[in-house]
Amino acid sequence: MSRKLFVPLIAFAVFLALWELLVWANDWPNYKMASPTDLVPAFVKYWELFLSMGWQTLWRTVVGLLLAVVVGVLLGMVMGFSRTMRDALYPLLVGFNAVPKATVVPIVALLFVGAHDFNTVLIAFMISFFPIAVSVSIGLSTLEPEYRDILRSLGASQFTIFRKIALPKTLPEFFGALKVAVTLAFIGTNLMEIVSPHGRGLGALFDSAKTNSDYPLMFAVLIALAFLGIVLYYVVVALESIFAGWAERSPS
């Protein structure tokens, strides 16, 4: 257990040391590349802002993600159970996913002008539901027919088959997709926070740091975002080990 914590911490320390060394060796000024030691004053000076903006970013990302889970699972179920729906929806979804979300952000910002929370959640959702929908649909459509037959031959209903077999069997794929979706949702939230005027959240803090040429603060925001991303990722990992721990082979 302590080893599990110790190894990543060492890696993190090595990363910071290399970063510091790189800046120091090149003698870069902080407006070119801030070094880790430049970040400490930024965190100290603005810690209250980091907490409130970080919270803004976090809750909107989580809400967007929850929305992505609901819609993604529903879409995945529809496509997993019906071949026709799969044929119909796949090209649409792929096309939708291929559109860079940076181009959608200004459209959404204009469409629902002023609704900053809503817009941010919407972009976080739009960017992250695709992997969930795809993985759930693949998980369901690749269910071996024998699994179905075992229960169907006993007279089980479609719903029972879904609850007892299809759903648990798809969980590992679902959590795999959720890990990807978590980081994507952060990108979505920040895109909107940076672009929309009078935005809130870490993205807005980044944008105002840029306006004020406070370069160490910009880098500090990046680190704060990375931190939030790591926290949320490990929340998903914890949920996975609770609900789909059986899929993990014990090391032997």
Min dist. Cβ of residue 143 to other proteins (A): 10
Min dist. Cβ of residue 165 to other proteins (A): 7
Region binding other proteins by CB under 8 A among candidate stretches 1-9, 48-56, 79-87, 150-158? 150-158
152 lines the binding site for other proteins (CB under 8 A): yes
Binding mask 157-196 for other proteins (x = CB under 8 A): ---x---xx--xx-x-------------------------
Give the residue with the Cβ less far from other proteins, 62 or 150. Answer: 150
Min dist. Cβ of residue 147 to other proteins (A): 5
153 lines the binding site for other proteins (CB under 8 A): yes
Binding mask 221-250 for other proteins (x = CB under 8 A): -----------------------x-xx-x-
Based on its alpha-carbon atoms, the radius of gyration of the chain, rounded to whole angstroms, reads 22
Cβ partners under 8 Å of residue 137, min gap 6 = 75, 76, 77, 78, 79, 80, 86
Give the residue with the Cβ less far from other proteins, 86 or 152. Answer: 152
Min dist. Cβ of residue 92 to other proteins (A): 25
Comparing CA positions, the residue from 203, 187, 223, 209 lying closest to residue 35 is 223
151 lines the binding site for other proteins (CB under 8 A): yes
User: Quick check: 209 and 217 in contact, CB under 8 A?
Assistant: yes
Min dist. Cβ of residue 244 to other proteins (A): 8
71 lines the binding site for other proteins (CB under 8 A): no
156 lines the binding site for other proteins (CB under 8 A): yes
The footprint of other proteins (CB under 8 A) covers: 144, 146-147, 149-156, 160, 164-165, 168-169, 171, 244, 246-247, 249
